[in-house]
């Protein structure tokens, strides 16, 4: 490491204010677990009191799941050149089944370390990686199947519950009104009212959920992916040959998790893939995924036919020792499926899939990923890297949806899942793509049947091809639906899809669209507590608690900005209208008038009467009066 910080290091020493200023209205809180070093980060949104005019009552703080890590915690000291605190290091050490390595195992990794030309871009504070001791299997699935509840599993259980227990009973007994929720339709999911560590263990043991947490990524805040948990989203970052440097990618990471990405994939295909990834993982509180074939392809200068199992194997180890939490591996692109794509409208749209197809054809051999799959499992289980079995043959347009190539690969992924589970390697299955709405359900049903309920992780799907520039929307529609049907994680699509590399604004837009899709899915599934935030926000809206409404939204900054475009003054935050309708036409204002009027007319039922009850009584009394006076209800015709 140089004594003098490089320009990159200097840049990194300050993240821009836009990615670290606290999220308006929220403060970081921690829920305590069963041991002092188990503190689960969440966000708490305070609310103001309901105005006396509308009944005057306290409104509870709302706890929400938080992916933004220490970056939005004003008490945290951020130093990107040092990386985040190693939250899980002690838990990993205590398990006693891993040991630090004397050096890097991968050839490529060692070569990079010694290359002085990379000093300016290398992450400064690297420590030696760990690996399983001989014969040990260190995956969360391995522990789960042995009945062990790890600290990671406990962390996740606390995190998923979002401190709903604080909403307790309303004064006078009964459920808190904010907990009121429509029954869901979960298509056979099994979501308990309260997530316990034991439930987490059981779901992981069955393979129905995964907890991606490489032993070399101790900085990560544990999270879980599975249909019986909150629906998760993934954002993609990463440079290409045509765009973007390391500092920009790190900032995209922090930006992405600020807005709500549960996981991030680094899909870099440009310069310094290895170094970029190191900076990202060391500073990421969320699991990081990669597609190792990209870097393998870079090592052979873009000539797919020159890929070998050995190069790929070394790449897996290199990346596992950096701490990548899951690998997308297109082991289902078999030689016999490639001809099935010949007549497709858009062929093979997966980068990894097209690379493997090219290799298979050039060598006229079966995929080396498929052939060496068990050896891959041996590597994964030594570090606890999870599989994301890639959908290399996903449809890239509506016309190609649900074709033989796509479903053939899915069947093979099911076969590979069984093999992975033989090794207790955590596994999720990637999915489409471009699928019109009437064909989405079939994808979910087939995946459940073929893959033993392993978590499904789809890219959208896009429900039409005709809107380049708006594919975050074409796909949010499909993603919400497939999330409802049981998909566990939704990979985001930005407005730049099909057109270019996304910038920060695109990343934000993509994440917002996907947070919406994921939450819409949770509501539809009837996920316990999902409706709390909707209820709280709508109550705030109805009571004209504008700041509370903004703070409870997914994007408090945008909501306020939009409101203030036409009504910017502080006094406007107390206004009982906005510029949509103005003071005379605001329906909620008029509704409040109506309730007040009716309450004034109703019986005096004492000071504890519920305002809604009094209004209802008042209105009903008036209606009764009307009928009793003999006025017939007009019945035309």
Annotated binding-site residue numbers for Zn(2+): 434, 498
CA distances from 32 to 37, 92, 163, 165 (A): 9, 19, 11, 13
Q: Which residues pair with 98 in a beta bridge?
A: 132
If the CB atoms of residues 154 and 543 are measured against a second copy, the closer one turns out to be: 543
Q: Which residues pair with 64 in a beta bridge?
A: 43
If the CB atoms of residues 283 and 417 are measured against a second copy, the closer one turns out to be: 417
If the CB atoms of residues 88 and 519 are measured against a second copy, the closer one turns out to be: 519
Q: Name the binding residues.
A: 236, 265, 294, 330, 350-352, 391-394, 430, 434, 457, 498, 578, 581, 586
Task: Measure CA 50 to chain center.
Answer: 33
- Write out the two tokens for 85: 């605190």
Q: Name the binding residues for substrate.
A: 236, 265, 294, 330, 350-352, 391-394, 430, 457
3-state SS assignment for residue 480: helix
**Least distance in Å: CB of 377 to a second copy?**
9
**Least distance in Å: CB of 133 to a second copy?**
25
**Least distance in Å: CB of 362 to a second copy?**
7
If the CB atoms of residues 170 and 362 are measured against a second copy, the closer one turns out to be: 362
**Least distance in Å: CB of 92 to a second copy?**
30
The total number of residues written for the chain in this structure: 637
Task: Measure CA 85 to chain center.
Answer: 22
**Least distance in Å: CB of 529 to a second copy?**
13
If the CB atoms of residues 285 and 460 are measured against a second copy, the closer one turns out to be: 460
List helix spans (H) across 169-270. 197-206, 246-259
3-state SS assignment for residue 537: helix
Burial pattern 263-292, b for ≥16 Cβ within 10 A else e, equals: bbbbbbbbebbbbbbbbbbbbbbbbbbbbb
Q: Name the binding residues for [4Fe-4S] cluster.
A: 578, 581, 586
**Least distance in Å: CB of 217 to a second copy?**
25
Task: Measure CA 300 to chain center.
Answer: 33
If the CB atoms of residues 220 and 463 are measured against a second copy, the closer one turns out to be: 463
Close Cβ partners of 11 (under 8 Å, ≥ 6 residues apart)? 247
3-state SS assignment for residue 328: strand
Rounded Cα distance, 601 and 166, in Å: 37
If the CB atoms of residues 230 and 586 are measured against a second copy, the closer one turns out to be: 586
**Least distance in Å: CB of 455 to a second copy?**
20
- Per DSSP, which regions of 33-179 are E strands? 39-45, 62-64, 98-100, 130-132
């Amino acid at each position: 490491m140089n004594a003098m910080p490089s320009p990159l290091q200097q840049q990194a020493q300050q993240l821009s204010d836009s990615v670290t200023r606290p999220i308006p209205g929220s403060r970081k809180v921690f829920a305590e677990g069963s041991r002092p070093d188990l503190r689960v980060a969440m966000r708490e949104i305070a609310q103001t009191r309901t105005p006396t005019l509308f009944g005057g009552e306290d409104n509870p703080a709302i706890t929400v799941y938080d992916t933004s890590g220490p970056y939005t915690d004003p008490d945290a000291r951020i130093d990107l050149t040092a990386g985040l605190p190693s939250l899980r290091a002690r838990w990993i050490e205590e398990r006693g089944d891993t040991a630090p390595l004397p050096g890097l195992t991968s050839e490529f990794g060692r070569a990079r370390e010694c290359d002085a030309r990379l000093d300016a871009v290398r992450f400064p504070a690297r420590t030696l990686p760990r690996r399983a001791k001989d014969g040990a299997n260190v995956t969360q699935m391995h522990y789960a199947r042995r009945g062990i509840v790890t600290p990671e599993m406990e962390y996740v259980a606390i995190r998923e519950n979002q401190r709903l227990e604080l909403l307790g009973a309303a004064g006078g007994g009964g459920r808190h009104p904010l907990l009121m929720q429509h029954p869901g339709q979960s298509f056979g999911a099994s979501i308990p009212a309260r997530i316990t560590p034991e439930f987490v263990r059981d779901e992981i043991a069955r393979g129905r959920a995964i907890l991606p947490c490489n032993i070399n990524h101790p900085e990560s805040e544990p999270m879980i992916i599975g249909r019986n948990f909150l629906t998760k989203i993934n954002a993609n970052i990463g440079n290409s040959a045509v765009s973007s440097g390391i500092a920009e990618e790190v900032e995209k990471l922090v930006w992405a998790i600020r807005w709500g990405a549960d996981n991030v994939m680094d899909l870099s295909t440009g310069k310094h893939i290895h170094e970029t990834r190191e900076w990202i993982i060391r500073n990421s509180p969320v699991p990081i995924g990669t597609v190792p074939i990209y870097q393998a392809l870079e090592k052979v200068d873009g000539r797919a036919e020159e890929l070998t199992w050995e190069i790929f194997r070394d790449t897996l180890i290199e990346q596992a020792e950096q701490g990548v939490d899951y690998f997308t591996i297109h082991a289902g692109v078999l030689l016999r499926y490639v001809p099935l794509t010949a007549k497709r409208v858009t062929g093979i749209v997966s980068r990894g899939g097209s690379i493997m197809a090219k290799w298979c054809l050039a060598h006229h051999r079966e995929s080396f990923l498929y052939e060496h799959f068990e050896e891959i499992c041996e590597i994964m289980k030594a570090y606890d890297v999870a599989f994301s079995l890639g959908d290399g043959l996903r449809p890239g347009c509506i016309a190609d949806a649900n074709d033989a190539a796509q479903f053939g690969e899915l069947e093979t992924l099911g076969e590979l899942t069984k093999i992975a589970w033989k090794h207790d390697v955590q596994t999720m299955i990637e999915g489409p793509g471009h699928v019109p709405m009437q064909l989405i359900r079939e994808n979910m049903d087939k995946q459940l049947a073929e893959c033993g309920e392993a978590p499904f992780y789809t890219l959208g799907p896009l429900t039409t091809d005709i809107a380049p520039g708006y594919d975050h929307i074409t796909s949010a529609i499909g993603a919400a639906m497939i999330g409802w049907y049981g998909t566990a994680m939704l990979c985001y699509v930005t407005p730049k899809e099909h057109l270019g590399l996304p910038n920060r604004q695109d990343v934000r837009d993509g994440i917002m669209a996907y947070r919406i899709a994921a939450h819409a899915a949770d509501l539809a599934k009837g996920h316990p507590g999902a409706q709390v935030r909707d209820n709280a926000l709508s109550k705030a809206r109805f009571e004209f608690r504008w700041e509370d409404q903004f703070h409870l939204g997914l994007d408090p900054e945008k909501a306020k900005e939009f409101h203030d475009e036409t009504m910017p003054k502080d006094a406007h935050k107390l206004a009982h209208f906005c510029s949509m309708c103005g003071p005379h036409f605001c329906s909620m204002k008029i509704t409040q008038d109506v309730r007040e009027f009716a309450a004034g007319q109703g019986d005096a039922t004492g000071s504890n009467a519920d305002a809604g009850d009094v209004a209802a009584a008042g209105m009903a009394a008036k209606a009764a009066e009307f009928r009793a006076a003999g006025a017939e209800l007009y019945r035309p015709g």
